A = this chain, B = another copy of it.
Amino acid sequence: MSQIAQRSLCESIEAMESAFRSAASGIDGLPVDDVVLLRMLQMVAPALEAAFGREVRKHAGIGKTEFRTLLLLLGSDGCAAPSELSDVDHLGRANMTRVADALVKRGLATRTADADDRRRISLCITAKGRKLVTRLVPGIASGETAVFEGIGMAQRRQVAGALRRLAANLDAWNRSQR
């Protein structure tokens, strides 16, 4: 049994907000609305990912990152270089090696050397991998429908726009740190 879920996520968010607002009343200059919003983001995103990960593990026996890599391969005509995949998924190359290892071990992808550039390999989804993705899509679709219930298209666009903006601001910040 998970050792997290004493309270629900909603209850934790309420309690977190209350605690931060209380803390802010004794601290000058803390932009508590921003702190709370960022913390909500950082609580909800991992919780969504964890739930997705548990479903994928249960139904496919692989991790969420492995599954996502299969989707990304499908979006690249079936094959891609690990360095490309790690860029697209914003992960480390070392991690992508681990993910590739796991997929190859289960026969869901293959590694083949690049004919033109011997530094590179091509990771390609197999027929078994395609079948697995096809099998899980209905469950994914219904899960996502459930999770987005009550959030209209206009609000989703607002969220997407805000996330892009946050990413751009973070990129600018990271550039300024070097």
Contact = CB atoms under 8 A, between A and B. Distances in A.
B3 A92 contact: yes
Interface string A1-43: 0111111111111011011111110111111011111111111
In the complex, the count of this chain's copies comes to: 2
Given A27-B74, A156-B162, A170 B90 contact: no
A42 B38 contact: no
B167 A83 contact: no
- Chain A interface size band reads 35 or more
A47 interface: yes
A134 to B, nearest CB: 7
17 contacts: A6-B87, A9-B167, A15-B87, A19-B75, A20-B72, A26-B74, A28-B137, A30-B140, A34-B147, A35-B140, A38-B144, A42-B49, A43-B90, A46-B46, A47-B170, A151-B162, A155-B161
